[in-house]
Structure 1
Amino acid sequence: MHEDNTADPIARSLQMLPKNSTRSLIVFVHGLWLHAESWNNWIEFFYENGYDAIAVSWPGDSKTTEATRKNAAAVAGYGVTEIADYIAGQIEALDRKPILIGHSFGGLLVQNLLGRDLATAAIAIDPAAPRGVPDLPLSALKSAFPVLSNPCNFWHAVSLTEQQFRFGFTNAVSEQEARELYAKYAMPAPGRPLFQAASATLNPNSATRVNVTNATRGPLLLIAGAKDNTAPTVMVRSTLKLYRKKSKAITEFQEFANRGHSLTIDSGWRELAEYSLDWLQSKHL
């Protein structure tokens, strides 16, 4: 991996890729309250298993989690469309069409981009629900409450307290690990995407729409954590039904027992990475 010498995410992504590589490329997309750094273990894992791998940023992200904490206002105000288009710009500057892996709102974003045929395949882990998913469990509302409780947060960046992060992300790990994950990974996030998700049912043009009818897109894997409060399994299963009702393209589902929303960053991350690797290889990707 090359040293990061630029704040431009597109230039940085290109800089980090080996020249003239024939490997398949994986692009990781983070969600709310996490930084691209949260994918470092996954990037190393997939590189060691024969893939090139990078993580893209959201608009306003600083170079690191800590730097973003110190410049929270920079991430404020961006919605799903702006974030998806920003990531699309990074992808289109790459030298090959990638596989996408996203978590949480990043899981929704990779569905958006796959539906646009900007990727060969996608894995959405504990994804936020696209428009058309009717299920909204109380735990999902509670996890979004720190943002939705104040309408002014639509245009603001919001940070979670340790207790809020514990409910929304780390409820399935020990208290000690939860504290460590919060200290290492938690950062401010724009509030606007959650308002867009909450109003999606009432808005036929919601920014959370994805192209679920695309029959020629690449394969999609939806992953759920059985103890996830933020993106409960019922929401992910409803997303699966939405796709299967509208398209014959490959859409598959896997649930992991005893896993919460932190499943990509906690001590059990490798179980998810290994399953994702096996799934990609089963699709000859």
Structure 2
Amino acid sequence: MKTNAPKTVVFITGAFVTHHGWKPWQDYFEAKGYKTLAPAWPYKDGTAAELRARQPHDTDLAKLTLSELVEHYANFVKALPEKPIIIGHSLGGLITQILLNRDLAEAAVAIHSVPPQGVIPYEFSFLKAGWKALGLFTDLDKTYLMSFEDWQYAFVNEMSLDDQKKAYDENTIPESKVVARGGLTSAAHVDFDKPHAPLLMTSGSLDNIIPAHLNNRNLKAYKENGSVLDYKEFEGRNHYVLGQPTWQEDADYILEWLAKNTK
């Protein structure tokens, strides 16, 4: 018997930032009748300040792989009573695409997503913003913490200095360089030919680390096979899109899309 139970939305965070950034989105979606969950990455279930205090010697996080991270979220959604709606940002958008490809989502939204394997991110701004996270010629047993200067370019460009500092203090956390490298391997594979549940991809005109051009190439990698596949570029959005003053406009667009594409 079909019930009127609320649909579940699972939010998946990206690299470099805490999952607590989803809290306003969770509150907003719950006010619209959804149940929401925003599970942390392994070894990241703490405040930004607590996690930064472990830098750079959090060896458990340092050794985390992308494959392990994907399986962490796959097992999480498999344990739910029904397929959830999955919404991911940045590397969380890549994980969202992988889980959708495994038929684990009723519908999915990839916000400013890292692309799957095969979509080569050659854009200069991506390389400038993200190359340090790969940790080339550095110790992989130590985590990487984005500097404030790099944060300004990669996440919060065009924002006021005070807002940039506040966003950094509240969100920035250490990262596994091994996970970052995993985005270039088969751990990031998606079968672009395979039919899938509805997928919306969004991008932002100001995003440096995941520029709109890269998101558009990710979209075009999918083959036309009758699956719902939509794309929206928002003006004035940088990579800190989840916390910009315009986040509610983005959320409203996503909610309207979900209403049209889920039962």
Fold shared, TM-score > 0.5 on shorter chain: yes
Distance 2:4 2:155 in 1: 36
1:59 and 2:39 matched:
no
Aligned partner of 1:212 in structure 2 is 192
- 1:54-203 aligned at under 5 Å gives the runs 54-72=37-55, 73=58, 74-148=60-134, 150-152=136-138, 154-197=140-183, 199-200=184-185
Q: 1:267 offset after TM fit, Å?
A: 2.1
How many residue pairs match? The answer is 258
Q: 1:108 offset after TM fit, Å?
A: 0.2
Structure 2 vs 1, CA of residues 266 and 155 (structure 1 numbering), >3 Å: closer, same or farther? farther
Which residue identity lines up with residue 219 of structure 2 in the other structure? L
Q: 1:61 offset after TM fit, Å?
A: 1.1
Which residue identity lines up with residue 258 of structure 1 in the other structure? G
Distance 2:207 2:216 in 1: 13
Are the aligned partners of 2:202 and 2:231 in contact in 1 as well (CA < 8 Å)? yes
Task: Find the residue that maps to 2:68 and give its secondary structure.
Answer: helix
Which residue identity lines up with residue 243 of structure 1 in the other structure? Y
Let me know the Cα RMSD of the aligned residues: 1.8
Distance 1:250 1:57 in 2: 29
Structure 2: gaps of 5 or more residues:
none
Q: 1:196 offset after TM fit, Å?
A: 2.8
- Pairing partner for 2:202 from 206, 223, 226: 223
Which residue identity lines up with residue 150 of structure 2 in the other structure? Q
Task: Find the residue that maps to 1:223 and give its secondary structure.
Answer: strand
Aligned partner of 2:252 in structure 1 is 274
Task: Find the residue that maps to 1:60 and give its secondary structure.
Answer: coil
1:256 and 2:256 matched:
no
Structure 1: gaps of 5 or more residues:
1-19, 201-205
Are the aligned partners of 1:221 and 1:252 in contact in 2 as well (CA < 8 Å)? yes
Q: 1:150 offset after TM fit, Å?
A: 3.1
**1:63-120 CA distance string (max 9 Å, x none):** 3323222334142122221100011111122222100000000000000011111111
Are the aligned partners of 2:135 and 2:177 in contact in 1 as well (CA < 8 Å)? no
Q: 1:151 offset after TM fit, Å?
A: 3.0
Which residue identity lines up with residue 26 of structure 1 in the other structure? V
Identity %: 29
* TM-score, length basis structure 2: 0.92
Are the aligned partners of 1:26 and 1:52 in contact in 2 as well (CA < 8 Å)? yes
Q: 1:154 offset after TM fit, Å?
A: 4.2
Q: 1:177 offset after TM fit, Å?
A: 1.1
Q: 1:156 offset after TM fit, Å?
A: 3.1
Distance 1:263 1:153 in 2: 31
